Structure 1
Amino acid sequence: MLNQDENLFLIGQVTALSGVPIRTIRYYESLGLVQSIGRTEGGFRQFSSDVLTRLSFIKCAQSLGLSLQEIGEILEVYDGGKPACDQIHHKLKDKILDIDKQIEQLLTLREELRGLLSGWNSLSTKPQDTICPIIQNH
């Protein structure tokens, strides 16, 4: 039986408290992002209360665009007893550079599409060898 004094949670309780599905928790565990501290006699995973903090951090970090690999690297630093904020700072700066590149690529694509649309002529007949000559002749 689960002892309430130990503050251990079964995976279903972790799901209820965190909003993270059981399947996702198991996946995170397989990646080493969270760890169960043991199993009950019935084979159910048990987690300490710190799993809730980790799951909350993972969700927040993902919402900022960090990958699970990047999050794992951050948690590794944290688990090593060092503050992780410096590493997070560098990763977020890198993320901004990536976003700037994506914005530049999207602006270029938008101009290409506008160029295609500005010269659009309605085809009155179905072309023989192409699906859409405007796209295929691009």
Structure 2
Amino acid sequence: MAAVGIKTGMKTGMKIGVLAGRSGLPVKTLRYYEDLGLLPAIGRSEGGYRLFAEESLRRLEFIRRLKTLGLSLEEIQGCLAVHDAGDLPCGDIQIQLERQIERIDAQIEELGQLRQELQGLLAGWQSDPAKEGDVICPNLRV
């Protein structure tokens, strides 16, 4: 599909379907991002279609990158708000990434505890335990 631009005043925009094709993201995701304020449209075509700037592709790559690093859309929105105000969000991103490391460390701790619990259960596991009334599985001790 050709990326045909539509002029709106002094700006040239692309329809959401073109942006979806070029970014590799579904139209539904782009609409959701627009609703959240992550992806502003630059206007509408004469037919009423949303139009997006070429810079939207860079913005979507930024969102995608921060998502792969584990940041939430709310955290990403904060970083983009700093950018949209004319400042570099590098300091804010650093804080978010440090918080992400803390969350990962907490998850690692929780997983270690879960692993120990599972090992403890399996250490005394009986393949064919005696039936105990209406207990579903006596090995689980519940």
TM-score computed with the length of structure 2 as normaliser: 0.89
Q: Structure 1 residues 124 and 94, CA, compared in 2 at 3 Å: closer, same or farther?
A: closer
Q: Distance in 1 between matches of 2:66 and 2:141?
A: 41
Q: Distance in 1 between matches of 2:111 and 2:127?
A: 26
Corresponding residue for 1:85? 90
Q: What is the count of residue pairs matched by the alignment?
A: 137
Secondary structure at 2:6's aligned position in 1?
coil
Q: Distance in 1 between matches of 2:136 and 2:62?
A: 48
Q: Which runs of 5+ in 1 are unaligned?
A: none
**1:38 alignment partner, one of 34, 43, 55:** 43
Shift of the alpha carbon at 1:125? 4.3
**1:3 alignment partner, one of 4, 7, 12:** 7
Q: Distance in 2 between matches of 1:97 and 1:29?
A: 30
User: What per-residue deviation string (whole Å, max 9, x for no partner) do you get for residues 49-78 of structure 1?
Assistant: 111111111111000000000000000111
Q: Distance in 1 between matches of 2:97 and 2:120?
A: 35
Corresponding residue for 1:57? 62
Secondary structure at 1:62's aligned position in 2?
helix
Secondary structure at 1:33's aligned position in 2?
coil
Secondary structure at 1:9's aligned position in 2?
strand
**2:99 alignment partner, one of 94, 102, 120:** 94
2:81 matched to 1:76? yes
Q: Which has the higher helix share?
A: 1
Q: Name the aligned partner's letter for residue 54 of structure 1.
A: R
TM-score computed with the length of structure 1 as normaliser: 0.92
Corresponding residue for 2:53? 48
Q: Which runs of 5+ in 2 are unaligned?
A: none
